[in-house]
Chains A and B, each alone.
Chain A
Amino acid sequence: MKRLYIDRYTGKLERTDLYFVRLTLKDGTVLEDLEPRRLFPITRPNMFITLLDRNEKEAAFVRDLTEIDDASRIALEECFAEYYMIPKITHLLNADEKFGALSWSVDTDRGRISFQIRNRNSDIKKLWGTKRVIIRDSNDNRYEIPDVDALDSHSKHVLFSYL
């Protein structure tokens, strides 16, 4: 099946809703209510973006955010800002291990939050060959530490025994 690739010459995107965009192709065809999704939300957030129609079928595809025009890129970035919530942890305040359950309180770019981690072996993952750490809490919410080395020494100390 042929994939409809969008770049700055073939189509333009406008944000029409919290998470919908409108695609206008060069030939004037308009596709409404497309939902952009990252295909690599963790490893390549700005590349390989699929646009799903109402039936969750792929209608169009953006290979790289740099290949589309600025207005379209901003439209996608705005949608993603709403859709993807992966708070970036800036400080680890405290890790409490009482009763065998692991509970973290952290500062993130979205504010302070506490959460529980169910399985410290599988829910705290350092990405292979990077400094990023992805965390999943007991409710399946995701968190990210973009750069372990950039953390302050207290945070590093708290994190240390879980990596």
Chain B
Amino acid sequence: MDAPFLINKKPDDKQLEAIKSLSDAKDPILFAILGDLSGDSKYADCALLVTRERILTYDFSRDECTHSIAFSDIEEIFNKRMYGNGVMRVRLRDGTLHNIFRFTFSVAALCDATVTYVNEIRNGTAPKEAFDTIDATYQKLLSVCPKCGRTLSAPGVPCINCMNKRKLLGKLAKYLKPELPILIIAVIISVITTAIALVPPLLTQTLVDTILPDQRRDLLMWVSILLVVIHIIRYALSGIRGYMLRVSGNKVLTRIRCEVYEKAQHLPMRFYDKTSTGAVINRISGDTATLQAFMLRVTQEVVVQFFKMVGIILVMLIINWKLTLFSLFPVPIVVIGSRIFRQRIAPFYRRIWRRSSAVTSTLTDTIPGIRVIKSYTNEKQSTERFASCVEEWRVTDSKAGKILNAYPAIVNGLIACGTVIIWSFGGNLVIDGMQNPAIANISVGVLVSFISYASMFYEPVNFFANLSDSTQSALASTERIMDILDAEPEHDFGKGNTNADLGGRIEFKNVSFSFDRTKKVLKNVNLVIEPGDIVGIVGTTGSGKSTLVNLLLRYYDHYDGQITVGGVDIRDIDMEYYRSRIGYVQQEPMMFHDTIFNNIAYGDRHFTVDEVINAADIANAHEFIIRQPDGYDSMLGERGVGLSGGERQRVSIARAMLRNPKMLVFDEATAAVDSETEHLIQDAIEHLISGRTTIMIAHRLSTLSKANKIVVVDNGEIIECGTPQELMEQKGKYYRLVQIQSMSDKVAAERRAENFG
């Protein structure tokens, strides 16, 4: 039964009836929200319905319409977002306040849209126009995969992630495909070696039954030579096979690693906000190796061991079927045991992985921060914390060790007992035959060869029983790798579109953004930046100024509203083209473990030496680089040349300079350096910005002396915008900030004067 109005999820028939009974043809329901909280914030099915003229709520558990309020009676309507839940409140014209709808964050976006809708209608917006926003909100909700929450490329299409997980192993096959010829050769070799391996017991049989009793020394020599040849061929072949597998295994591993790494490069910042970098590193280095081992060794072995098993059973059946049945007796027990084992062990693998990844995370979090640890003499605590991480891993792994080892012990015990059965039953048959030659059906040689076959037979059985082991850990690794491979990459809908003029006018239109839906970081931001403008963005920490720039740099694409550059939505511009034309200088620039030259030319090696030196010169970096013994060849990073904060800053300005960007973004570029260096950097920046659209985030207002436009951001909103003179005259927030800073600057200057005087 389909609802004739917008609804966030499918109501059951009873609910739909109840909803329908509330509306009539004159005043039909336009949209509905199925919520999950009752008025006293217990989980219950309830609904919020909006018609053309009223807003209604319905509680399905009590089967009653709890509120029915006409828009004309509403004085004020708003949502209060609380912790884990929210409430829609209405103040009526008679002054009473009603909590009409409780909701969890699952439907918070819809509730917000509803409030906006009701307000727009009350302010006289055309219903059609107001409804479009509602429609868009519903559409957006539907374009999120209901299973995994991932944003879909278009509303209603099947989620890439959820669809492909089913074909997890099919995906892995893709990596094996190029190695297929080698894999097939390897399998053929193993089938040959397996077949050869079946020969020695037959020879042993002849040895025991014919050669030894008949004292045939000539035959003994020939059989011995034959056995030696067989063994040489067998082990030589398996050596060759091992080498082949290693070579192609490395190829597969390289491919997976590079692919995962490449994918990790293109994941949106959202992914890294949620996943610690240590975990990602672990997946790229550790999990890929597990996967490779599984795909090659294990999949090969499956084929080989299967042939071995079939071969042995055939040979055994041909020799003596009764004895065969007896020797196979423990097999079902082993197989059933392995099934039970598989279910038990799966959670342990996850736990162990999680613990060891916690250990790695602790490492990657603390070792780089060793200065802080030392300065706060926190060595003991961090050691303790690390120790307890390792301890947790040890406990978990030891617990798992119990099950992990009990199982093979049981299996091996059963197998040993199986051999005893063959000895006792087969031994009886042999003795029977000796006592009564008429019924002789088994010789000592047959029994001996049978014992070797039986022990050989348990190798594949053991393998298949333990297969669950490697399969489980490989599947867990696959899952984690696929988590990266299948994650939605940064959208690049505008791929190939390089027509936009990035030196053009930048416009923020009604931009709202939130990281996690609970708190809006940017609220309805509107901003116009003309070509060639030097814009200073000012505001307290946490006010949203960095976020503003993050959106412009396209680190986050899931905002509401629109950002255009030169009239084109930035989401429709080719990402590579777009970013390569923006120079971005951060507060603490990242230096890579490479030469200064490569750090400046980072990302593009086509620059000539002259260009790089020129850029360094303009950035005031050349002067300190030439003082380095290795000049531009100086290695940066660990054990390399240590550059000071200001020097690094100038290298990063040179980096931006070299690209001849159309647009420049400085994120507190001078916040962490002394005034003299600031002056040098300031000078470098001035060289750089001439004629380019520049956006500077700054704490120190002195940095903004060249700005012709100041934007003051507070609490996610632009509260002031204009030329510095205008804002000074307004005597608003900017004025106050300037006052505070010039005062403290004066104090600092006086202090300095005193010291020198």
A interface list, Cβ under 8 A from B: 17-19, 41, 82-87, 99-101, 103, 108, 110-113, 115-116, 118-119, 121-122, 137-142, 160-163
Contacts and interface: CB of A to CB of B under 8 A. Distances in A.
Nearest to B516: A140
A122 B162 contact: no
Which 3 pairs from chain A and chain B are nearest by CB? A161-B347, A111-B43, A85-B84
A100 B163 CA distance: 9
Interface of B: 36, 41-44, 80, 82-85, 87, 89, 97, 99, 104-106, 108, 145, 147-149, 161-163, 165-166, 274-276, 279, 346-348, 350-351, 354, 357, 479, 482-483, 486, 516-518
A139 B104 contact: yes
Contacts of A113: 36, 43
15 contacts: A18-B80, A19-B80, A85-B41, A87-B84, A99-B166, A101-B145, A101-B148, A116-B148, A119-B274, A122-B274, A139-B104, A139-B517, A140-B517, A141-B84, A161-B347
Nearest to A79: B82
Given A100-B479, A119-B275, A141 B106 contact: yes
Given A18-B89, A139-B106, A139-B517, 16 more contacts: A84-B83, A86-B83, A99-B147, A100-B148, A100-B161, A100-B486, A101-B145, A108-B43, A110-B41, A110-B43, A113-B43, A139-B104, A142-B83, A161-B348, A162-B350, A163-B351
B104 A100 contact: no
Contact of B82 (A83, A119, A121, A139): A83
Q: At the interface, is chain A mostly helix, strand, loop or mixed?
A: loop
Contacts of B161: 99-101
A119 B482 CA distance: 13
Nearest to B107: A139
Contacts of A163: 351, 354
Contacts of B84: 84-87, 141-142
A132 to B, nearest CB: 16
Contacts of A100: 148, 161-162, 165, 479, 482-483, 486
Nearest to A158: B347
Contact of B279 (A87, A112, A121, A137): A121
Contact of B347 (A99, A139, A160): A160
A122 B276 CA distance: 9
Nearest to B83: A84
Contacts of A140: 105, 516-518
A121 B163 CA distance: 22
Nearest to A122: B274
B105 A139 contact: yes
Contact of B350 (A19, A101, A119, A161): A161
Contacts of B148: 99-101, 116, 118, 138
Contacts of B357: 121
Contacts of B147: 99, 101, 103, 116
Nearest to A144: B84
A79 to B, nearest CB: 10
A36 to B, nearest CB: 11
Nearest to B144: A138
Interface centre among B84, B148, B348, B518, by most chain A C-beta atoms within 10 angstroms, is B84
A139 B103 CA distance: 12
Nearest to B166: A99
Nearest to B271: A119
A121 B165 CA distance: 18
B149 A118 contact: yes
Nearest to A112: B43
A33 B295 CA distance: 64
Nearest to B109: A139
A110 B104 contact: no
Nearest to A109: B42
A161 B482 contact: no
B131 to A, nearest CB: 24
Nearest to B165: A100
A118 B479 CA distance: 14
A65 to B, nearest CB: 17
